[in-house]
Structure 1
Amino acid sequence: MIRQDSLSAQDHIRVAEFVEAVAGIQLPEHKRSLIETRLRKRLKPTGHASLADYLDFALSPAGAATEQPLLIDAITTNKTDFFREPAHFDFLGRLVRDRLAPLQKVGWSRPLSVWSAGCSTGEEPYTLAMVLMELQQGLPGFTFTIEASDIAPSVLETAAKGIYPVANIEPIPMPLRRRYLLRSKKKELELIRMGPELREAVHFFPFNLRLDEYPRTPQYDIVFCRNVMIYFSNEDREMIVRQFHRALRPGGLLFIGHSESVAHQKLGFESVAPTIYRRIEVEGA
């Protein structure tokens, strides 16, 4: 029988140190209750009677290969929404339509390349796909690629399937729902699936923003990394922003969350709108 024990201060420190070392995410004391709730979901699948027993296993060599990725998964999963912070998508639309399109005198030379970093369950990259597909209708020859990453395997699996409760699509304008979404044939399930065009437009892949290797040469025009860096230390945030600078082409844009900020000038960016930054050349960035 599983006891409803609490996460002790000592065990909170153990798991917080592990998660920060592996994922770079900070879990301060005020998040102990949230951590406890999320870890408790791993007790039954692993057959452990208490949180302490579970952590003894998960943080041991025996749990390294199988359970530690699932522990990280449970801790790092974050809620997101379609069309979250809509001003960002309005800005992107104006950028492509009003600034980039007039420059293409002899046609678009290459696709617009977008990276959704920390994409969670996929709402952000699918929103990007809808916005860019709408732009295609009025811009002959305009193409794009969207890559979307997250550290958590379970959210990437959900994202790739593209299936969501009907309630989740409320922020999506009705014309876009009709054009791009599929309703489950079993209406009692109350599920919606992203249409095949949307699913084919987004490539999902696992990526640890703190530990994995970033592109060595610029390859993205746009990076969305919103409401992700708030969980990192100042040192790790600076490292991540420097890596985004390296991954972005000259003049490329970085979009961050409304509650986030970056020391943009020191790190090779200039502010062009609230929480939107343009890559610039800065010595040492």
Structure 2
Amino acid sequence: MKSQAKASDGISDRYHQKVAEYINQQAGIQLPRQKRTLIETRLRKRQRELGIETLHDYIDYALDARNDEQLLLIDALTTNKTEFFREANHYPLLLSHLPEVRGELKLWSAGCSSGEEPYTLAMLLQDHGMPHYSILATDISTSVLHIAQQAIYLHDDVEPVPLAMRKKYLLRAKDPTRDEIRISPKIRQHVRFGLFNLITGNFASMGPFHVIFCRNVMIYFNSAQRDQLIRRFVSRLKPGGLFFIGHSESLEAHRYGLHQIAPTVYHLNQGGAHD
């Protein structure tokens, strides 16, 4: 490992292919040639931190199975942006179609990123008077899960949260000079975060759930991976459960035993899934 990093080096076609194939195998994410600049930008920070001379040297090091750098490489290339109350028309649909539940309502926020989606769901259900609910929030990135677990955000981040909810569920920093808020314990107690890989993870160990959110994640997968992933999600839905995907995504509901109740919102038939 060299002591000084070169800031101007890029990656060759061969190294781009190595990274793209590895990320696709591990996370299902497509990194075509037009994403090369993104790969270089995101990996260069870690290259510099380690004092490695070139990006090629860093990639060789990261893909070496004898070290833990692989997780950090996946972290760097799979982090997605999100926000509170994103795709807001989903939330009235959730409340109006909530399945009747005896006991605890169970939800899964898959690909939860830095926590805005599961905390949005918790605030919504809390405000709706839902007495018993739990939200499992998972992501492949350890760095975004750390942010989510801290539950600390900037004031600009929480602007989409309705004012009444902000007053009830967000806590200001004691130091007025700090531009931070924290999600209140009454919301945090309903959300549990965990590391989960949607490509290689054991779905049989998950749920089953009354509601699954997986939004703006499958757009990064190829068609075969999307099909497999949808089938796995449906297998973890309780009959009558709800499945939400992103506004830029679509699926053929009948193929999976689902009924479309609104664009990107699906209901699992009471008889369950079928092929």
Note whether the superposition's TM-score is higher than 0.5. yes
Matched pairs, number? 270
- CA–CA separation in structure 2 for the residues paired with 1:217 and 1:35: 32
1:30 to 34, 37, 48: 34
| Root-mean-square deviation (Å) | 1.6
1:148 aligns with 2:141: no
Q: CA deviation at 1:189?
A: 2.3
Q: CA deviation at 1:218?
A: 6.1
Match of 1:250 in 2: 239
TM (norm. structure 2) is 0.94
Q: Percent identity?
A: 45
Kindly indicate whether the alpha-carbon contact (under 8 Å) linking 1:267 and 1:282 is maintained by their aligned counterparts in 2: no
1:123 to 101, 116, 124: 116
- 1:123-179 Cα shifts (integer Å, max 9, x gaps): 00000000000011xx6xx31111100011111111011011111011001111110
Structure 2's unaligned 5+ residue stretches are none
- 1:252-285 Cα shifts (integer Å, max 9, x gaps): 1100000001122112212110100111247743
Q: Which SS does the other structure have where 1:187 is aligned? A: coil
- 1:205-240 Cα shifts (integer Å, max 9, x gaps): 110011011136862000000000111111111111
Match of 2:43 in 1: 39
- CA–CA separation in structure 2 for the residues paired with 1:217 and 1:284: 19
TM (norm. structure 1) is 0.90
Kindly indicate whether the alpha-carbon contact (under 8 Å) linking 1:216 and 1:247 is maintained by their aligned counterparts in 2: no
Q: Which SS does the other structure have where 1:61 is aligned? A: coil
Match of 1:274 in 2: 263
- 1:38-68 Cα shifts (integer Å, max 9, x gaps): 11121122221211110011112333xx100
- 1:166-201 Cα shifts (integer Å, max 9, x gaps): 110110011111100011122222011111111111
User: After alignment, is 187-196 or 243-252 more displaced?
Assistant: 187-196
Residues 235 and 25 (structure 1), Cα distance of their counterparts in 2 relative to 1, 3 Å cut = same
Q: Which SS does the other structure have where 1:254 is aligned? A: strand
Match of 1:110 in 2: 103
Kindly indicate whether the alpha-carbon contact (under 8 Å) linking 2:20 and 2:32 is maintained by their aligned counterparts in 1: yes
Q: Which SS does the other structure have where 1:215 is aligned? A: helix
- CA–CA separation in structure 2 for the residues paired with 1:164 and 1:216: 31
Structure 1 runs (4+) deviating above 3 angstroms are 281-284
Give runs of aligned pairs for residues 225-264 of structure 1, distance below 5 A.
Answer: 225-264=214-253
- 1:87-124 Cα shifts (integer Å, max 9, x gaps): 1111112224xx74xxxxxxx62111100000000000
Match of 1:204 in 2: 193
The residue type equivalent to 1:223 in the other structure is: I
Structure 1's unaligned 5+ residue stretches are 101-107
The residue type equivalent to 1:240 in the other structure is: L
Match of 1:57 in 2: 61
Give runs of aligned pairs for residues 210-221 of structure 1, distance below 5 A.
Answer: 210-215=199-204, 219-221=208-210
